[in-house]
Structure 1
Amino acid sequence: MSDLALAQNHAFQLARTLMVPVTLFRSGNEFGVLPSDELEDGEVEAIAEFDPFEHRPAH
């Protein structure tokens, strides 16, 4: 599993646990995740947002 795939999986699980949208972002060579409402537009290099209230396949 790639680092990005692992980060996406953890971000999805965190969104489901917290029941808030989270944003997966890149900072240098690392990935991070924060609740989406804590980020300003353009503050980080966003990769994806995971919303636990959207009904879509996990994969």
Structure 2
Amino acid sequence: MSHNLTLAQNHAFDLARTLMVPVILFQTEDEFGVMVSSEYDGDDDAIVHDYDPWEIMDS
């Protein structure tokens, strides 16, 4: 499962930087998903991490 998480984290990071919008990495059961933060209306407990491209660029 850690391989799937690492892959999802990499995609979320790249997506945030490419689109220059915050994205959410979330988990439902054994699956991970990534979507634009402003469109996420799921359970807050399902959020693994949020990626803000402006914070990423400052690091």
> Same fold by TM (over 0.5)?
yes
TM-score using structure 1 length: 0.82
- Per the TM alignment, residue 44 of structure 1 is displaced from its structure 2 partner at its CA by 6.2
Q: Which runs of 5+ in 2 are unaligned?
A: none
Which protein has the bigger helix share? 2
Return structure 1 stretches of 4+ with deviation > 6 angstroms.
none
C-alpha distance in 2, partners of 1:20/1:44? Answer: 21
Instruction: Tell me which residue corresponds to 1:27.
Output: 28
* Identity across the alignment (%): 50
Residue 3 (1) aligns with residue 4 (2): yes
Partner residue, 2:37: 36
Give the length in aligned residue pairs: 56
TM-score normalised to structure 2 length:
0.82
Contact 1:21 1:51 in 2 (8 A): yes
Specify every segment of 5 or more residues in structure 1 that has no aligned partner in the other structure, as ranges.
Answer: none
Judge which range, 38-47 or 12-21, deviates more: 38-47
RMSD, aligned α-carbons: 1.9
Asked if the contact 1:27–1:44 (Cα under 8 Å) also holds between the matched residues in 2, the reply is no
